[in-house]
Structure 1
Amino acid sequence: MGAFEELIEEGRAADVTGWDFSWLNGRAAEERPGWGYARLLAERLRSASASLDIQTGGGEVLAEAESFPPVAVATESWPPNVAHATRLLHPRGVAIVADPDEPPLPFADGAFDLVTSRHPATIWWEEIARVLQTDGTYFAQHVGPASAFELIEFFLGPQPEARQGRRPEVEAAAAQAAGLEIIDLRTATLRIEIRDIAAVVYLLRKVIWWVPGFTVDAHLDRLRDLHRRIEADGPFIAHSTRHLIEARKPASGALT
């Protein structure tokens, strides 16, 4: 078996459960935003009375917090992640709710004073506003526009329409339309280095919306092309985009 085939099998065999990317250590690296989302999230959790983390993945980011409010809930749709998050967070008093990531959220109006999310795939602003208490806040880190598109377009070709999605100013306008007041909005563009083809296979198996329907067999020719490019030129460089967004639910009629 040659180097390409060995790397392909490594990426194919890797466990992609949860939202921990430590398997990529030494194979790929991504810059992190300077604001430190996990630290800021932990600060807000300390002062909350009831929190909801939407699309928690395997719960790894939420679990970095030192403490949780008296009521702490997280939702997740993918069954392996639900099981992983349950094992990680239940012992710490966080309830995990299996939810399809579609409206409505399975909670009463005004149930939480803090709603959070890191890299939600979908954002239902009306539901976020509904489950927030008056003066409650939504605090999240979102994936921004054209994130990792150098890699995505290597497999799919140009995606001009998709490049227009996830723009922070559009999301902020949608939040305001749902009755929320924007408190903070920050953006970052970050460098990604992918050092071998096993990392590519792992990423495309794990982040399934990047190249929908990805399988090694169906994309073997492009994987081989990318392997040769990395071997010849060094790490494949892409860029991720992120934005930090914080919004408050004002009293009815208070939003201007």
Structure 2
Amino acid sequence: MKVLYILLIIIFSSSSNVWSASEAIQINERIKILEQKIQNTKELEGEIESLKNRLEKFEKKSSNTETQDVNGQFPSYNRARKPQTFPGAPVTDLGPQDIQNQFPAYNRTPQSQSFERSTATGFSRLFNPAISANGLLLGTYRSEENANPSAETKTGFKVQEVELQATANVDNYLRANLVTAFEDTSTFEIEEFYVDAVITRDFSVRLGKSFNNFGKHNFLHQHQFPFIDAPLVNLKVFGDEALNESGIGINY
């Protein structure tokens, strides 16, 4: 019995040593695999970091390019060159030209509202008169043709009216308007001749002869009529030339 026990102990001891050696080999191989994965992970982390740096540089470059484009196309949005303000905010840090550029609606001077800048010669073109001409050619037909030479209308064409208009700025606050008409190429008349004085932004005065702004038809010139003749009521009450007496008018 003693011999048997000794043999069993030797067998079990040998198998135990074999199992321990095999497990050690497997663990060693597993460690090598994990070490290789760690190395690959470090390489990936380095590549990711490099890509992040390249992306940051590209974003900075793109941002600078967009800012330059915006400043070049829209100078009013350049905060460094011209600060933005709002109506009612202090504007003491801006010059007169900056205020006019940013708030054209708040500029009270008539010159900046309606006049252009001077030309290269130093003289403004706005004081040159604006001249226009309107001609009306009227054609009529009578079934009796022209048998009655005393008839008011005859078959044919005639020049009904030729109108000349000249408008000019007298100075920064005065504007003159002259309208003359030739009826039937034989009668000359001054239809309108007045001067507008712009006192303030909301207050002006008109002095002279003009078509009064009365009703829907009185202020129209003949070439503006919706029909050939004026309404019968206007002709009977105000006459052929409507209500265009000399006087003074105030607008506010």
TM-score, length of structure 2 as denominator length: 0.21
Q: Which structure: greater helix fraction?
A: 2
TM-score, length of structure 1 as denominator length: 0.20
Higher relative contact order (CA 8 A, sep 6+): 1
Larger radius of gyration: 2
